[in-house]
Structure 1
């Protein structure tokens, strides 16, 4: 029972990247644009990295009896990939924000001003 509960709790860190990836895929389906593609690539790579660290890395370390030096090599490679994924997502988000800010210049005039 304790093993089942610990296995279920180990899946909790996977939920947010899955939600973000799902939202990015939905955005990509609705509007195929550069920002949607960049955000989907970045979140997909982030999801894969999160799965790697949460599920596969502990199993790999236990089965291979890896030394700390070997684990550090894996962490370095995955860290570089994670950095690239973060840059892709951030670039897509920045492009999305800039494009939406340009389109919605009239928003402040749509709200009534208080007469206090």
Structure 2
């Protein structure tokens, strides 16, 4: 019973990446763009890596693998995790830059109090 509870509690760590992936997929559906694609790919791979990191320790323990083999699997997962983080960060940076440019263009359309001469 306690192992079932421990497994359920370990699934809690999957909830935030799942929410981020859902939000990125929603963005991709609403706005098909490079930044949405990069963010969806990065968050999707991150979700898969988080799921694997949740279940792999028990699978590796059951197979009695050597420490060097376990380290190899975690190193590969770390490299893939780094690449998906770069994808997500690049997409997020592009989204922020585009949003700031769009907001600046909108705010430049309105008159400011300094635009008028009060003489």
TM-score (norm 1): 0.87
String of CA shifts for 1:29-51, please: whole Å, max 9, x gaps.
Answer: 00000000000000000000000
1:36-89 Cα distance to aligned partner (Å, 9 max, x none): 00000000000000000002x123212210111111101111111001100000
Aligned twin of 1:31: 31
| Aligned Cα root-mean-square deviation (Å) | 1.6
What is aligned with 1:53? 53
Q: Which runs of 5+ in 2 are unaligned?
A: 112-119
Distance in 2, matches of 1:74 and 1:7, equals 21
Report the CA distance between 1:3 and its aligned residue: 2.6
**Structure 1: which 5+ runs fail to align?**
111-116
Moved over 3 A (4+): none
Distance 1:69 1:53 in 2: 17
- How many residue pairs are counted as aligned between the two chains? 108
In structure 2, the residue matched to 1:40 is 40
Q: Which structure's CA Rg is the greater one?
A: 2
For normalisation by structure 2, the TM-score amounts to 0.85
